[in-house]
Amino acid sequence: MKKNITVRYFAGFREHAGVSEEEVSLAVSNAGDVFERLKHRHGSEEPLGHCKVAVNDEMADWDAVVNDGDTVLLFPPVAGG
Protein backbone atom coordinates (compact mmCIF):
# COMPACT_ATOMS: atom_id res chain seq x y z
CA MET A 1 0.00 0.00 0.00
CA LYS A 2 1.35 3.34 -1.03
CA LYS A 3 1.75 6.18 1.41
CA ASN A 4 1.66 9.87 0.63
CA ILE A 5 4.85 11.36 2.01
CA THR A 6 6.36 14.82 1.94
CA VAL A 7 10.12 14.56 1.39
CA ARG A 8 12.54 17.38 2.10
CA TYR A 9 16.05 17.45 0.70
CA PHE A 10 18.95 19.38 2.23
CA ALA A 11 22.31 20.70 1.03
CA GLY A 12 23.78 18.42 -1.66
CA PHE A 13 20.63 16.34 -1.76
CA ARG A 14 18.54 19.42 -2.55
CA GLU A 15 20.95 20.54 -5.22
CA HIS A 16 20.80 17.10 -6.86
CA ALA A 17 17.03 16.87 -6.68
CA GLY A 18 16.62 20.43 -7.88
CA VAL A 19 13.82 20.92 -5.35
CA SER A 20 13.84 21.30 -1.58
CA GLU A 21 10.53 19.53 -1.06
CA GLU A 22 8.18 17.27 -2.95
CA GLU A 23 5.18 15.03 -2.42
CA VAL A 24 5.72 11.38 -3.24
CA SER A 25 3.59 8.30 -3.13
CA LEU A 26 5.65 5.27 -2.16
CA ALA A 27 5.11 1.73 -0.93
CA VAL A 28 7.57 1.94 1.97
CA SER A 29 7.57 0.90 5.60
CA ASN A 30 10.44 2.86 7.13
CA ALA A 31 12.71 5.88 6.66
CA GLY A 32 15.48 3.76 5.17
CA ASP A 33 13.12 2.60 2.45
CA VAL A 34 12.37 6.20 1.55
CA PHE A 35 16.08 6.96 1.25
CA GLU A 36 16.68 3.93 -0.99
CA ARG A 37 13.64 4.48 -3.18
CA LEU A 38 14.58 8.14 -3.74
CA LYS A 39 18.22 7.59 -4.65
CA HIS A 40 17.59 8.90 -8.14
CA ARG A 41 16.33 12.11 -6.52
CA HIS A 42 18.92 12.86 -3.80
CA GLY A 43 21.69 11.18 -5.80
CA SER A 44 23.58 9.96 -2.73
CA GLU A 45 26.04 7.13 -2.95
CA GLU A 46 26.87 7.58 0.72
CA PRO A 47 26.03 4.62 2.94
CA LEU A 48 22.88 5.17 5.01
CA GLY A 49 24.99 5.32 8.17
CA HIS A 50 26.71 8.53 6.99
CA CYS A 51 23.43 10.29 6.47
CA LYS A 52 20.65 11.19 8.89
CA VAL A 53 16.93 11.39 8.81
CA ALA A 54 14.16 13.19 10.66
CA VAL A 55 10.49 12.35 10.57
CA ASN A 56 8.13 15.24 11.26
CA ASP A 57 11.01 17.36 12.59
CA GLU A 58 12.19 14.68 15.04
CA MET A 59 15.53 12.99 14.49
CA ALA A 60 14.82 9.34 13.76
CA ASP A 61 16.54 6.04 13.07
CA TRP A 62 16.51 4.64 9.57
CA ASP A 63 14.18 1.87 10.68
CA ALA A 64 11.62 4.34 12.02
CA VAL A 65 8.15 3.59 10.64
CA VAL A 66 6.88 6.10 8.09
CA ASN A 67 3.15 6.70 8.00
CA ASP A 68 0.86 8.18 5.43
CA GLY A 69 1.05 11.97 5.71
CA ASP A 70 4.50 12.05 7.34
CA THR A 71 7.24 14.47 6.36
CA VAL A 72 10.61 12.78 5.89
CA LEU A 73 13.73 14.96 5.98
CA LEU A 74 16.77 13.50 4.26
CA PHE A 75 20.03 14.86 5.65
CA PRO A 76 23.39 14.39 3.90
CA PRO A 77 26.43 13.91 6.17
CA VAL A 78 26.45 16.91 8.51
CA ALA A 79 29.38 19.30 8.90
CA GLY A 80 28.64 21.92 11.53
CA GLY A 81 31.21 24.07 13.29
Partner 1 sequence: MLITSATIYPEELKKNLIDRGAGAYVSFEGWIRDQNDGQEVLRLEYEVYEPVAVAEGKKVIAGAMQKFPLLHVNCVHRSGLLEIGDCAVWVGVTSAHRDEAFSACRYIIDQVKVRLPIWKKEHYVAGHSDWVNCERCATHDHQHPQASVS
Selected from 3, 6, 16, 29, the binder of partner 1 by CB under 8 A is: 16
Cβ-based neighbours of 81, under 8 Å, separated by 6 or more: none
Q: Of 1 and 18, which has the nearer Cβ to partner 1?
A: 18
Selected from 35, 44, 64, 72, the binder of partner 1 by CB under 8 A is: 44
Give yes or no for residue 31 binding partner 1 (CB under 8 A). Answer: no
> Which residue intervals of the chain are DSSP H helices?
12-17, 31-37, 39-42
Least distance to partner 1, CB of residue 76, Å: 5
**3-class state of residue 13 by DSSP:** helix
